[in-house]
Amino acid sequence: MKMVLSIMLFTAVFVWIKITPLAFFASYIMILMTHWFAPLIIVNKQNRPESD
């Protein structure tokens, strides 16, 4: 379902909005990467030593 919705929204963006495909896909990939790296960043902040 998520894949079908993504395809439909990608199609809608390219049909209705004049956009550079490279910039669009680069920003999409960067947003996906935030979900991958967020747990690593949150775990590192919780394991930091207390400052004096």
How confident is the model at residue 8, as a pLDDT?
A: 94
Say if CB 13 and CB 24 are below 8 A apart: yes
Q: CA-CA distance, 50 to 15, in Å (whole number)?
A: 52
How confident is the model at residue 10, as a pLDDT?
A: 86
How confident is the model at residue 19, as a pLDDT?
A: 84
How confident is the model at residue 32, as a pLDDT?
A: 87
pTM of the predicted protein model: 0.53
* Token duo for residue 51: 């400052």
pLDDT < 50: residue spans in the chain: none
